[in-house]
Chain A
Amino acid sequence: AQSVTQPDIHITVSEGASLELRCNYSYGATPYLFWYVQSPGQGLQLLLKYFSGDTLVQGIKGFEAEFKRSQSSFNLRKPSVHWSDAAEYFCAVGASDYKLSFGAGTTVTVRA
């Protein structure tokens, strides 16, 4: 069975500073990995996904993530955070049967 761990429950970052959110996964086959963002009271929006090829993937809103098979990690990064990036971020692994397993999420607070 697949699982996802997001070690950081809450991160506070200054506007304009860089951001990195950690994600570790457990899956027996080639993982399909996703990062979603959820604003308060909203559904989930896909930021980016990895399924094969280049281990550095680019997403929307200036986010990128790097897949490291040796570390079972898929960390999300953004070079310069904007106040609108304050939200909850979820890492997920997708099985071949199209079910997603999510981590518990990381809440990002952006201070001025």
Chain B
Amino acid sequence: ETGVTQSPTHLIKTRGQQVTLRCSSQSGHNTVSWYQQALGQGPQFIFQYYREEENGRGNFPPRFSGLQFPNYSSELNVNALELDDSALYLCASSDSGQGWGNTEAFFGQGTRLTVV
């Protein structure tokens, strides 16, 4: 069991609303990445935060935004929700200073967002 926790676990929103998803990273990890996993697909990279700064972004519009806090926890915000935003949103934490050989991305259980 990893130390990455996400809240809430499930959420139903109406099209056009805004949503905030939260992630508490594993202790000692300074990097948080967010992924969107649509039904039947692999996770798609949204963006990554390293020491409170955005450190790369995937092919997602600006209405997807995020924050990382001094304790390395993170939020994903989505504005003007669309039906296609319905997906499992996964948060992953890692320690970027260690290199892939000495770290891994630990994933939370995800938040299932349904937009109606």
Chain A residues with a Cβ under 8 A of chain B: 4, 32, 34, 36, 41-46, 49, 51-52, 90, 92, 94, 97-105
Residues of A close to B56: CB separation below 8 A: 97, 99
Known contacts A49-B104, A99-B56: A42-B42 contact under CB 8 Å: no
- CA distance in complex: A52, B102 (Å): 12
Neighbour of A44 across the interface among B41, B90, B100, CB < 8 A: B90
Known contacts A43-B110, A49-B100, A90-B42: A100-B105 contact under CB 8 Å: yes
Q: Is the CB of A44 within 8 A of B101?
A: no
Q: Could you tell me the distance in whole angstroms from the C-beta of B42 to the nearest C-beta in chain A?
A: 4
- CA distance in complex: A34, B105 (Å): 10
Residues of A close to B33: CB separation below 8 A: 98-100
Known contacts A49-B104, A90-B43: A98-B31 contact under CB 8 Å: yes
Residues of B close to A100: CB separation below 8 A: 33, 35, 43, 45, 92, 105
- CA distance in complex: A44, B58 (Å): 19
Q: Is the CB of A42 within 8 A of B109?
A: yes
Q: Is the CB of A43 within 8 A of B90?
A: yes
Residues of A close to B44: CB separation below 8 A: 102
Task: Give the residue name and chain of the A residue nearest to B101 (CB).
Answer: A51
Residues of A close to B100: CB separation below 8 A: 32, 49, 51, 94, 98
- CA distance in complex: A99, B101 (Å): 14
Q: Please, how many residues of chain B have a CB less than 8 angstroms from a CB on the other chain? A: 29
- CA distance in complex: A100, B42 (Å): 11
Residues of B close to A44: CB separation below 8 A: 43, 90, 92, 107
0 or 1 for each of B25-65: is its CB under 8 Å from A? (1 = yes): 00000010101000011111100100000011010000000
Task: Give the residue name and chain of the A residue nearest to B112 (CB).
Answer: A41
**What are 9 A-B contacts with C-beta separation under 8 Å?**
A32-B101, A34-B104, A42-B110, A43-B108, A43-B109, A51-B100, A99-B45, A100-B45, A105-B42
- CA distance in complex: A112, B2 (Å): 31
Neighbour of A102 across the interface among B43, B96, B106, CB < 8 A: B43
Residues of A close to B48: CB separation below 8 A: 97-99
Residues of B close to A94: CB separation below 8 A: 100, 105
